[in-house]
Homo-oligomer: A and B are copies of this chain.
């Protein structure tokens, strides 16, 4: 069998064991937990008596398309990267450091083995490139289904600190963000309505990649915790929607600064021009960037990677929420169910 034939074998032509034998060596490069894949369960070291845990599923047709309208073909490595990145971001958003993950894969019978190998490689690439040093893939599960989905569950260590919740923002705090804001939404717009991927320049391809391979700023979460952040959360569903959640959970209003929002929008002028679109809705409503939204005491020096984006003000008799330049804003953004 040639290497190409080997990669193009469909999973229904392989036994579970044969497929696992292709996956395990690719993951082993990350090192080993106390007990790795191959038994009924894995065993992972937990240094400080508490473990942070988060789980997230990506499903074809919902979270990615195998082929986008602009011709971009999603690789297994893209899906593996994004599945890892999303989950690593949730750990980051607690101020914690990822230590290990387990992966449950549901595969249609006709899935090519090479695509699955690519997915394993993408997990590893993301863990390394994003700097989740010491994070291993401890185990997982394989099953068949009509559509392809990947569920990653990630564990993290608080390194002795308290978790930074979304409910701790206080009136008077500075509001700050780390990572790109709106870029993943601009990338999605390019994938769906933009020119053919093949003709995009490097800057626009980079915007597309921020949708396919988001880059959560993994050093920023623990740095925020060490700097005394009062609240911290992952920007996965859009600045207004996630801001509204933090505002309500904290009983305050997060007042976004119009100039700072404009600065983020200006960074998206390239894709906006190509698409004839306004970049502001991407910044305010676009999800999947996996940046961080944080509140810091006004006296804090913002840690590396954060820039101010507004301030925390009293709830003015309401339940708390989000505002732009003092005007209450309707939280728009991604909802998995509401139409």
Contacts and interface: CB of A to CB of B under 8 A. Distances in A.
Nearest to A245: B17
A103 interface: yes
B143 A57 contact: yes
Contacts of A16: 335-338
Interface in A126-163: 138-147, 149, 151, 153, 155-156, 158, 163
B143 A62 contact: yes
A46 B91 CA distance: 17
Contact of A146 (B139, B141, B146): B146
A41 B91 contact: yes
A97 B94 CA distance: 26
A57 B57 CA distance: 11
B57 A52 contact: no
Q: Number of contact residues on A: which range applies?
A: 35 or more
A96 interface: yes
A92 to B, nearest CB: 8
B102 A142 contact: no
B11 A337 contact: yes
A160 B234 CA distance: 35
A44 interface: yes
A209 B93 CA distance: 42
A55 B106 contact: no
- Residue from A11, A14, A40, A89 whose CB has the most chain B CB atoms within 10 Å: A40
Interface in A310-339: 335-339
B14 A42 contact: no
Interface of A: 11-12, 14-16, 19, 34-35, 38-47, 49-59, 61-63, 89-91, 93-94, 96, 100, 102-104, 106-107, 109, 138-147, 149, 151, 153, 155-156, 158, 163, 165-167, 232-234, 249, 335-339
Given A40-B54, A41-B90, A43-B52, 17 more contacts: A39-B166, A40-B232, A42-B54, A43-B53, A43-B94, A44-B50, A51-B155, A53-B100, A53-B102, A53-B138, A56-B104, A57-B149, A59-B144, A62-B145, A104-B153, A144-B337, A151-B151
